[in-house]
Structure 1
Amino acid sequence: MKAIVYEGFGAPDVLQLKELPKPTPKDDEVLIRVRATTVTAGDWRVRSRQLPRGFGLVGRLVLGSSRPRQPILGTELAGDIEAIGTGVSTFKVGDPVFAFSGTKMGCYVEYKCMPANGLLALKPATLGYEEAAALSFGGTTALDFFRRGQLQKGDKVLINGASGGVGTAAVQLAKHFGAEVTAVCSTVNLDLVKSIGADKAIDYTQEDFTRNGEAYDIILDTAGTAPFSRCGDSLKDGGRLLLVLATLKDTLSAPWQSLTTGKKVIAGPVKERAEDLRLLARLAEAGEFKPVIDRRYPFERMADAHRYVDAGHKKGNVVITVG
């Protein structure tokens, strides 16, 4: 099978197309013929090892020092089940599915085995493979942070970095849960965030949301530009700051700030849940959640897709078609 492999950290040119053996599912696994995958911010950070400030040493320990511990990137996919293990009864051959490998990665392949009881769900009939492949990363991230932040109907929510993969998912999910949503993005993305449900959009090149006198129940920061030191005064008493992207210092100081300020700061890894994939599928079926697709690239142009994501201007998701 074809796979995109990297044997050293660096620029997109480290990604190489190679032939690898086609995997065989274990008793509790399914074999998926991959139709689409994605390039997320997580992929480029792992590939380049450009991590938030303070996480350099941790990154070397987890990702590898001189060579990647996991030589195949990619966290999400959509495709068809081609074979099942002898112990699998929840899926059958031919089922269209989408899956999330999360921190294990390994989705830049033509075929992938996944545990049948893991982060795997039937593809919503309302979405094609490319859209379904982009359901998981942004959707599960937003759901986990909103869960930890105890998002309630009627909450006033600001999403900083609202036009990216996590941001566009967060706007739609916050609206689904009944929040009043303010989206912060650049000038060119104002219409986009309004089209997916934002009640108000702030152009960060023209207005600093921390100085407009507004206060919010929840601020979700996907861009890493709204630490508590900057936006604490924009939270209501009892408000919650959700740091999707945070430095090591901001992550470590979150418990102390929560204890001493009357406002809660939440940071740290996302908990991956199979039930979140099933929820996203139901919302997609109901027309309440749809991944935003910016660009599509063929599998052989993976490096070009990474170059585009590296530039930091993608809107929503970048999808890779496979085969």
Structure 2
Amino acid sequence: MKAVVVKRYGAPEVAVIEDRPEPSIKSNELLVRIEAVAVTAGDDRIRAARFPHGFAVPARLALGIRGPRRQVLGSAFSGVIEKVGSAVDGFTPGEEVAGMNGVRMGAHAQLAAIRSTSITHKPAGVSHIDAAGVLFGGTTALRFLRGRVHPGSKVLVNGASGAVGTSAVQLAALAGAEVTAVTSSANAPLASRLGAVHVVDYRTQQLDTLPSGFDLVFDAVGNIDRSLGLQLAAADGFAVLAVASLWDTARASARVITGPAQESASDMAHLLGLIEEGQLDPMTTSFGGLSAIVEAYKLVDSGRKVGNVVVQPWA
């Protein structure tokens, strides 16, 4: 099979296509033919060893010193089941599924071994491209918003045009919140279409000059720290730091929420259902086959990616 391999950390060009053996599966795993797979900010951080402040050393110790130990990246995918492990129930070969493979990754390839707890059935009305695209940002936004946003809540989303931000704006609006989106002026019409009531151009207004009193401050970029988040939040509001430094992560509290989103098959199914019902725009663009991975990484590196980017390993 063809796979994108990253043997050392570096620029997008370190990602190369190689022939690799078909993955073997354990009893609790499935072999999935990957029809579409996202190229996310998470993949980009690992490929470039560009981690939030303070995480460089622990991340390299966990992932690999000079390059990732798991050389095939890619977590959020959609595809078709090829084989099913002996201990797996509820899935059969030929079914269309979507999911996330966590730190095991391996989905930037034509075939991947996937844990049975990491997938859900893909609705027929949702394309593989959209299913793969929505999961990374969608599950992150859903995890941080759940239980904290209600009808009438005032929500600030910083980085409203990216993978996490576009989902956060839409999911908060669906919950009945009054959303203020921080993005560029070029993406202001998009933010409004997705449900933002107010749009702030970060190039002309500094974040620390925004009025306070938000019930939830959602930073999807990494340039709001604990102090600024609490400054912008109401006295009983929350600051969500989706890309937090090690120091802010260590000081997480009931009002300052950080850390990775937990992968949940039920959350994935919920997001795919919203797409099928026309309530959630997955905001996904396909770059084509695996040979487009370098260009996809360059876009993510630029910081100008809008929504989600996927590649299609069999294209």
Give the TM-score taking structure 2 as reference length: 0.94
Aligned 8 A contact 2:241 2:258 in 1: yes
| Residue 137 of structure 2: aligned partner | 138
Q: Who is 1:201 aligned against?
A: 199
Q: Which amino acid aligns with 1:237?
A: A
- Shift in Å at residue 230 of structure 1? 2.5
Aligned to 2:259: 268
**Which SS does the other structure have where 2:251 is aligned?**
helix
User: Deviation digits for residues 61-110 of structure 1, max 9, x if unmatched?
Assistant: 11111232111111111111122233333112211111101222111110
Partner Cα separation in structure 2 for residue 150 and residue 225 of structure 1: 21
Tell me by how many angstroms 1:57 deviates.
1.0
Aligned to 2:249: 251
Please tell me the residue identity of whatever aligns with 1:203.
Answer: D
Q: Residue by residue, what CA displacement relative to the aligned partner does 1:297-316 show, whole Å, maximum 9, x if unpaired?
A: 32112112111211111001
1:190 counterpart letter in structure 2: A
2:226 is matched with which residue? Answer: 228
Map residues 142-221 of structure 1 onto 2, 5 A cutoff: 142-147=141-146, 150-221=148-219
Within the alignment, does 1:58 sit opposite 2:58 as a pair?
yes
Structure 1's 307 and 213: CA in aligned 2 closer, same or farther, altered over 3 A?
A: closer
Partner of 2:278 in structure 1?
Answer: 287
Q: Does 1:47 align with 2:38?
A: no
Structure 2 counterpart of 1:105, which letter? Answer: M
88-97 or 214-223, which deviates more? 88-97
Cα distance change, pair 208–295 in 1 and its aligned pair in 2 (3 A):
farther
Equivalent-residue separation in structure 2 for 1:159 and 1:231 (angstroms): 11
> In structure 2, what residue type is equivalent to 1:293?
T
Q: Which runs of 5+ in 2 are unaligned?
A: none
Q: Distance in 2 between matches of 1:190 and 1:62?
A: 39
Q: Deviations over 1:255-284 (max 9, x none)?
A: 3xx6xxxxx111122222222112112222
C-alpha displacement at 1:224, in angstroms? Answer: 1.0
Q: Equivalences for 1:14-163 in 2 at 5 Å?
A: 14-116=14-116, 118-147=117-146, 150-163=148-161
The CA distance in 2 between the partners of 1:30 and 1:59, in whole Å, is 28
Structure 1: gaps of 5 or more residues: 259-263
- Matched residue type, 2:236: G
Letter in 2 for 1:124: P
Q: By how many angstroms is 1:59 displaced?
A: 1.3
Please report the TM-score for the alignment, with normalisation by the length of structure 1.
0.92
Given that 1:124 and 1:132 are in contact with CA atoms closer than 8 Å, whether structure 2 keeps it comes out as no
CA RMSD of aligned residues (A): 1.7
Change (3 A) 1:178 1:129: same
Partners of 1:103 and 1:28 in 2: CA distance: 17
